[in-house]
Amino acid sequence: MTFYVISGSTLGTAEAAAESIVEEYNQQHPETPAKVLHSPSLEAIADATRLVVVCASYGAGEFPDSFYPLAQQIEKADKPFPQLEKLLLIGVGSSDYDTFNGAIDLLANIFAAKDIHPVATPAKIDIVETFEPDVAAVDYFNLHADEFLA
């Protein structure tokens, strides 16, 4: 199993959530550790069999600047993740914006166009409601871990 947890983040919230997921998962599964990467290139993660994406929203429900290159690479590739078996998507956003968590919907659409579908409805964490978004992200991961890791 090649398991990456990646983040699209500007101010660090999504980044911290990705790190929390990996920290807890790696403690429980030291034999098959996950790697955390922030706004990686597609080349760096193309061998993924398991992928979790934690992504914030900016602009009008768009990706953080640092995440655009990866989103474009995925969009342009015929088969961006030839070995991918399981995907989970976690959005971090604010309900103060009309385009609440727009980026995670955008990303789900990009994956869907490649016939890649997450194992669960994408999480939409609201930083207005949730004081510990990293805990909410870990909880969502744990809720779907059995199916994601099977």
Ligand X SMILES: Cc1cc2nc3c(=O)[nH]c(=O)nc-3n(C[C@H](O)[C@H](O)[C@H](O)COP(=O)(O)O)c2cc1C
Residue 20 binds to ligand X (criterion: CB under 6 A):
no
d(CA 77, CA 32): 28
* Contact flag: residue 14 with ligand X (CB under 6 A): yes
SS3 assignment, position 2: coil
d(CA 74, CA 105): 15
How far apart (Å, rounded) are the C-alpha atoms in residues 92 and 19? Answer: 14
Q: CA dihedral defined by 66, 40, 22, 111, rounded to 10 degrees? A: 90
Pick out residues in 26-45 that bind ligand X (CB under 6 A): none
Q: Contacting ligand X (CB under 6 A), which of 18, 36, 53, 56?
A: 56
Q: Which stretch binds ligand X (CB under 6 A): 19-27, 54-62, 81-89, 108-116?
A: 54-62
Which listed range, 21-29, 51-59, 65-73, 77-85, lies at the site for ligand X (CB under 6 A)?
51-59
Looking at beta carbons only, is 60 or 150 nearer to ligand X? 60
Edge to edge, what strands does the sheet with 50-56 contain? 35-38, 3-8, 50-56, 86-93, 123-126
Contact between 9 and ligand X (CB under 6 A)? Answer: yes
With CB under 6 A as the contact rule, the residue among 28, 60, 115, 146 that binds ligand X is 60
Counting contacts by CB under 6 A, is residue 21 touching ligand X?
Answer: no
**Rounded distance, CA 84 to CA 141, Å?**
17
Give the binding site for ligand X (CB under 6 A): 9-15, 56-58, 60-61, 64, 92-94, 97, 99-102, 127
